[in-house]
Structures are given as structure tokens and as C-alpha cells.
Amino acid sequence: MTDDADSLAARERRREPRRATDRGFDPAARLADREQRDLRRDLQPVDRVAARTRVAPDPRGAVPDDGEQQLLFAANDYLGLASDERVAQAAAEKAHTTGSGSGASRLLTGDTDAHRALERDIANAKKTERALVFSSGYATNVGVLTALEPDVVFSDELNHASIVDGCRLSGAETVVYDHADADALAKAMDRQVDRETDEESWLVVTDSVFSMDGDIAPLEGICEEAERYGAWVMVDEAHATGLYENGEGIVGHEELTDRVHVQMGTLSKALASQGGYVAGSEKLIEYLLNAARSFVFSTGLAPPAVGAARESLRITREDDTCRTQLWRNVKRLREGLAGSGFEVWGKTQILPVVVGDRTDAETLSDRLREHGIVAPAIRPPTVPEGTSRLRVAPMATHTEDEIRHCLDAFEAAGRTTGIL
């Protein structure tokens, strides 16, 4: 066949109708698979973020109904500042004076005086040279880990998903060590040295307070092991920021600021706003604002969120009233739950009531709803098999009567379900 004939045959084949091939996706089948494995979740709208709120069934794409009023023992608004008038006023003022949105990346025109003021406040609270605010805590962890590009990351096995994803995206070799175990970290680092062929950059990363177990990382021991090999330490303070003196987290509380190279946290939990931050040296922050893609290519945090976070941070630094009330509520709830016979883990404001069986945990949660208490069941794969639990999180704004009602509801539901 000549070249002209080959070309003609090729053109003819292109004109022939092709048999349709399905290269798309089947979300219905995927959803059914999740349903079969009891992994499907839904959204349940609340009418306000507060200790007492109306919770509506998932309306899918429709308008939620009013729902029933419930006591919320599941939010991360630990200090109850999301419904504080001072915080709402600060957010409104920033919307009026600066704008409802930043309008652009911080590196373009989205960098405002409000952002800089919040970052100075965070750096002062964390006792670091400088801080940088991201659009979310998730974006912060992913951005920092990928920008640092460590050769090896040593990561606690129960670190938050944002850390796990940041490790994956960084391309680093990730060594997972046993949960909250500095000795396990030491052994992992010793093994790494034995197989190391070239000089490597090492980063140890851990949550300070673990969101599902409510326990605290042994930060001093972790710092000691990291220092043996000149590794950097990064600590995620998402569930600790603002809950200790001067608005600090565990790092400041344990006087480890000079030994932790990267302090990360969120503005969306105790600080009742939105966004994340990283605090550290001047050079670190200057590098990250140039290299962290989740910062460079995201619109700057909305000014109302900046204003709310700054006011919340001010409150936690200048007034310990809400913090004192939170820890009082935590103590009463922990002692009451344990006294009723429940297994309560942790030592922080997060109270995991461990049931074990996933069905039992879901049933207990459902019975609590009948008593007006929202405390959702947490089940695998979020937590390991055999450790399904209710993650109970009181707020500073829960009253003594509401704490008592919660305890009574747990005892009644526990007996009804046979868990007690």
C-alpha cells in the first residue's frame, strides 16, 4: 500500500463511528458500596453554633426544617466564643471597614492590615518571630509539609488526616511511629540512621492534642529524640490553641517554644473563626509565603474571619473566665461519666466515651438524641476497629444544669442499651 493509500485508509477509519466506551464515573454505585459497608454519612444542619441549638435531619438539596432543639456536646467551639457578641461585633466591623472578602491571593492584593495585625498577635502569643495565616488548617498542614520537602518525616500513627495527606504530597519517606511514644520514635530514628546513605533532612510531626483520643503527645520526649539527630519538630496545636494561659497551646504550656521549629494551629476551634496559621522564625515564614502552594494560590482569609479570630485570641489572652469555666465543665463531665461506669479516655477537653462495638456506639448516640443530647458516634475507619466511641466535647458556655442533663441522659441511655 502506498503512502497516499495509507493516509486515505487512516482518514476513513477516523470517519467511522466509534463504539461508545464508558470512561466516566458511577457515583451511585460508589455510594451504594459505602452504604453496604456502613460508611455513609450525612449532613445535619444546625441553626446556630452554640451550646444549645436546633438540629435538622439531612434535607439533601432541600431547605432544612426547624429541627428539634438539642444540647450540643460535639462541637470544637470549646470556649463558646462562636456565639460571643464581642467576636460577632469584631467580624462585622472588619466586613464594613475592610470588606467581606479579600478578593485575591495575599501575594497579589489580598494582603490587608487586618491579616498583618492577626499575624502579629499570633506571633506574640506563640512567642515566635512571625506567623502566617492560611485559608484553613488543612491547607496549612499540606502547604507547610510540601514546601519544606523533607527527605524523611516521622509521623505519629494517629496524626490528623491533613498531616497524612501533607506527608503523601511532600514526596517524603514517611516513617510512622507508635502513638504518643517517644521511645518508639527513638527506635525509628535509630533504624533510619542505620540505613541512611546520604545526608537527609528530617522532620518529626505530631498533633499536641489528638482529636479522637483526647490525649497529649509527649512533646518534651519528642524534642529530646529529635535533637539527638538534628531533626526539626513540627507540632499541630489545632485542638490546643487558646486553651492555656496567654492563649497558648501545649507547646507554650510546657515551655517548649525554643525547641519546636514549626508551630501550626487553627483559628476554627477555640478561636471561633476560620483558617489556620503557622508560627516560627522570620526566615521560615518568609520562605513559606513564597513556597507553600496552598498559601500562594489561595485567596486570602476573609477579613470578617480575621477580625473574629483576632478578637477571640485577645479574649483568651486577657480574660481566663471562659477557659476556667471550660475546664470546670470538663472535670464535672469526666468524673460523672466515669462514675456512671463509662470508659472515658484522654486527659483534655475531648472526652472519648469508648464503647467498642460500632453498632452499640451508634445505638447509644441515637438514644442520647431522644434525650436531647448530640454526641455522634465515631466508628472505623476514623478510629481503629473495636474502639468505636462517642466523642464528647463540652463548651465553656454549658451551664451546670446542662452538664447534669447530659450526665443523666448518658446514664439512662447506657442502661437502655445495655452498655451499662
CATH number, domain containing residue 91: 3.40.640.10
Q: Is residue 11 part of a domain?
A: no
How confident is the prediction for the chain on average, in pLDDT?
93
Kindly tell me if the per-residue pLDDT of 42 is higher than 90. no
- What's the whole-number mean pLDDT along residues 249-272? 98
- What's the whole-number mean pLDDT along residues 368-388? 94
Are 158 and 307 members of one domain? yes
Query: 171, 149 in Cβ contact below 8 A?
Result: yes
Catalytic (active site) residue 239: yes
Catalytic (active site) residue 371: no
Catalytic (active site) residue 283: no
> What does the pLDDT look like over 222-260, one tens digit per residue?
999 999 999 999 999 999 999 999 999 999 999 999 999
Instruction: List all residues 6 or more positions away from 282 whose beta carbon is below 8 Å from its beta carbon.
Output: 129, 130
> What does the pLDDT look like over 86-100, one tens digit per residue?
999 999 999 999 999
- Considering 272, 292, 318, which residue would you say is the last residue of a domain? 318
Query: 152, 160 in Cβ contact below 8 A?
Result: no
Q: Is residue 309 part of a domain?
A: yes
- Residue 67: which CATH number? 3.90.1150.10
Q: Is residue 4 part of a domain?
A: no
Choose, from 269, 294, 365, 388, the residue flagged as catalytic. Answer: 269
How high is the pLDDT of residue 66?
76
Choose, from 211, 268, 312, 388, the residue flagged as catalytic. Answer: 211
Q: Is residue 38 part of a domain?
A: no
Are 262 and 387 members of one domain? no
Are 256 and 401 members of one domain? no
Q: Is residue 179 part of a domain?
A: yes
Q: How many domains does the chain have?
A: 2
Are 236 and 327 members of one domain? no
Q: Is residue 9 part of a domain?
A: no
> What does the pLDDT look like over 145-195, one tens digit per residue?
999 999 999 999 999 999 999 999 999 999 999 999 999 999 999 999 877
Kindly tell me if the per-residue pLDDT of 23 is higher than 90. no
How high is the pLDDT of residue 197?
63
Query: 219, 210 in Cβ contact below 8 A?
Result: no
- The residue count of the chain comes to 420
How high is the pLDDT of residue 385?
92
- Considering 259, 286, 318, which residue would you say is the last residue of a domain? 318
Q: Is residue 8 part of a domain?
A: no
Are 266 and 328 members of one domain? no
* Domain range enclosing 334: 52-72+321-417
- What's the whole-number mean pLDDT along residues 371-380? 94
Cα atoms found within 13 Å of the Cα of residue 344, Cβ hemisphere only: 22
Query: 361, 391 in Cβ contact below 8 A?
Result: no
Are 66 and 123 members of one domain? no
Choose, from 94, 115, 126, 239, the residue flagged as catalytic. Answer: 239
Kindly tell me if the per-residue pLDDT of 17 is higher than 70. no
Are 297 and 326 members of one domain? no
Kindly tell me if the per-residue pLDDT of 6 is higher than 80. no
Are 287 and 171 members of one domain? yes
Q: Is residue 25 part of a domain?
A: no
DSSP letter, residue 183: H
- The neighbouring-strand residues paired with 344 are 353
Are 194 and 304 members of one domain? yes
Are 307 and 219 members of one domain? yes
Distance set, CA 39 to CA 134, 180, 228 (Å): 31, 28, 43
Q: Following DSSP, what letter does each residue of 250-289 receive, concatenated? A: HHHHTT-GGG-SEEEEESSSTT-S--EEEEE-HHHHHHHH
> What does the pLDDT look like over 346-370, one tens digit per residue?
999 999 999 999 999 999 999 999 9
- Considering 252, 287, 318, which residue would you say is the last residue of a domain? 318
Query: 133, 140 in Cβ contact below 8 A?
Result: no
- What's the whole-number mean pLDDT along residues 107-132? 97
In the chain, the percentage of residues whose pLDDT exceeds 70 is 95
Are 374 and 230 members of one domain? no
Are 406 and 329 members of one domain? yes
Kindly tell me if the per-residue pLDDT of 403 is higher than 70. yes
Residue 206: closest CA among 173, 243, 232:
232
